Amino acid sequence: MTKQLVEEFAIKSFEKPDNLQELPGLRLESVQLGTFQVHRMTFKPGWRWTDSLPDIMGTDTCEFAHPVWMVLSGRFAVQMNDGRLQEYGPGDLGMIPPGHDAWVVGDEPVVAIDIQMEQT
């Protein structure tokens, strides 16, 4: 039998996130919905992972998987450590494996949703 992921009614808002982090060029708002963490990420124009986060995260590139990634506005590029490149725009949904650089394309901020399932 499949485990039921939704066990009760819930509502949250990014207007009152459970957690808020301000990182260089990045605002990260997080809410917990059952077994899911949902992040709204706002990246300023000019932001790039390899310019902003290696010293903070302790890795040369992003080592997080993004199993559900959706860009709401702006354009965002992701380049895997092996050189593969993908660009995302408004309305695009994707999956991003660990081991990548990422950056804002153009002069418009990027707003994206990242959904993570809690590891048990």
User: What are the CA-CA distances from residue 47 to residues 59, 77, 79, 113 (Å)?
Assistant: 17, 11, 14, 17
Domains of the chain: 19-117 (2.60.120.10)
Residue 34 banded pLDDT, cuts 50, 70, 90: confident
pLDDT of 9-28, one tens digit each? Answer: 889 999 999 999 999 999 99
pLDDT of 72-116, one tens digit each? Answer: 999 999 999 999 999 999 999 999 999 999 999 999 999 999 999
